[in-house]
Amino acid sequence: MSTEPRYFLRCLQCDSTYAKGQVGYCCPICELDGALDVLYDYERIGRSFRQDVARREAFDMWRYRSILPISDDFRPALHTGGSPLYEMKHDGQGCILVKDDSRNPSGSLKDRASALAVALAAGMGADTIATASTGNAAAALACMSAISGMQCKIFAPANAPREKLAQMRTYGASVIAVEGGYDEAFEACYAACKEYGWYNRSTGINSFMSEGKKTVAFEICEQMQWRVPDRVYVPVGNGCIVGAVYKGFKELHQMGCTDRIPRIMGVQASGSDFMFRAWRAGAGPNGATAQPANTAAGSISVALPRDRIKALRAIEKSGGEFITVSDTEIFQAVTELARNCGVFAEAGAAAAYAGAKKCGAHGRSETSVVLVTGSGLKDIAGLLKSGVLADGAELLRQRLAA
């Protein structure tokens, strides 16, 4: 017997509220300028939340389904969530924990959202699901669609990493290459979904995607015996993940499961820093001018983040900060994560650790969590071009020549 979730939705732009099933992806008044929050009866759910979680045998994202907008009727079969939390070795006094979400089925945190998207689409009777993505969300959707028997349409920048494009096509997705970046892919996907009636999974229009991603916050707390870290460093491109991480921690606090919310630290590449500039200006989510993105960290390369309302809220309400790091710092972070923690992160994901270093997390007498959102195997070309492996390659060449 399925358990129907209870929730309602509120627009963060105009504050309008909607009952379950009354609206689709976003606020009909504000459309793409708004963002919906999915809200639950936290007092009721909180009375038994930890006990309900403890009764679930599988350590995956579905153990938290009492606070997800889905019934028990359907969900993709792949094990999603339940990623490890490692302690990173370093010389400072701070404790740095690395949440390795590259261990998900397609190699990124985006599997959490795509698993939920496929479940929601199936529940609506849809047979085709689409998304715009620079790579990870698309690969995740292609993966979840393949195991669930759904048609998958991907709108991706033509210059997306070849590893990610190959992954999408291997899962059987139909890939539509779009000239430009994520912003152009988003517009193309949005138009096609309206014309053909496909289910649109794209971040920034589909407010339910935060619900899948927030489960990473639940896991962090559970893995820490329901304690809360002092800071959580999150890479920021489109803004959905950082907003979802904050929502997860906030919901735990609202349910009485934790005593506080950690400071959320959003890390952007200096060549793709809209959220940092808007936050610094103090003029709201539209308080900066969109500029062409210029970073080799493809998964966080976005000119105008679509989930900027939730992203800015995460930082401001938690007392955190937005931070920018250079591409050089990002690729150095890739190698340090690998050599000191055994986690091979893609550049966009490693930005979180670069931000933690820049903020002096090693020297702080506090616990920091670095969220690794994608595998380094997804963008080998970018790593090789960065030059951070040049010394090692030259040493190998010399040894082979000896």
Give the mean model confidence (pLDDT) for residues 257-265.
97
Q: Tell me the pLDDT of the chain averaged across its residues.
A: 92
Amino acid 284 reads: G
The answer to whether position 271 is within a domain reads yes
Strands 174-178 and 199-200, bridge-based pairing: unpaired
Domain count, the chain: 1
Q: Round to whole Å and give the CA distance between 203 and 345.
A: 22
1 pLDDT band, cuts 50/70/90, is: very low
Task: Enter the pTM of the model.
Answer: 0.94
The answer to whether position 12 is within a domain reads no
Q: Which two tokens stand for residue 339?
A: 């050599």
- pLDDT, position 272: 97
Give the mean model confidence (pLDDT) for residues 250-254.
98
Strands 367-372 and 231-235, bridge-based pairing: parallel
pLDDT of 87 > 60? The answer is yes
Q: CA nearest 260: which of 221, 222, 211? A: 221
35 pLDDT band, cuts 50/70/90, is: confident
Reported as a single tens digit per residue, the pLDDT across 266-320 is 999 999 999 999 999 999 999 999 999 999 998 999 999 989 999 999 999 999 9
Handedness of CA 133, 136, 137, 142 (dihedral sign): positive
- pLDDT, position 343: 98
Q: Round to whole Å and give the CA distance between 199 and 265.
A: 32
Q: Round to whole Å and give the CA distance between 350 and 296.
A: 12
Q: What contacts 146, CB < 8 A, 6 or more positions away?
A: 152, 171, 172, 173
pLDDT of 2 > 50? The answer is no
Residue 247 lies in domain: 85-107+212-386
When mean pLDDT is compared across 37-46, 49-58, 388-397, the lowest value belongs to: 388-397
**How many Cβ atoms sit within 10 Å of the Cβ of residue 286?**
15
Q: Round to whole Å and give the CA distance between 132 and 303.
A: 14
Reported as a single tens digit per residue, the pLDDT across 205-222 is 899 999 999 999 999 999
pLDDT of 25 > 60? The answer is yes
Q: Round to whole Å and give the CA distance between 110 and 136.
A: 6
Reported as a single tens digit per residue, the pLDDT across 99-130 is 999 999 999 999 999 999 999 999 889 999 99
The answer to whether position 133 is within a domain reads no
The answer to whether position 328 is within a domain reads yes
Give the mean model confidence (pLDDT) for residues 19-35.
86
DSSP class of residue 33? G
Q: Round to whole Å and give the CA distance between 376 and 374.
A: 7
- pLDDT, position 227: 97
| CATH (domain of 321) | 3.40.50.1100
The answer to whether position 147 is within a domain reads no
The answer to whether position 39 is within a domain reads no
pLDDT of 185 > 80? The answer is yes
Give the mean model confidence (pLDDT) for residues 349-370.
96
- pLDDT, position 286: 92
17-22-25-30 Cα dihedral, nearest 10 degrees: -50
The answer to whether position 237 is within a domain reads yes
The answer to whether position 371 is within a domain reads yes
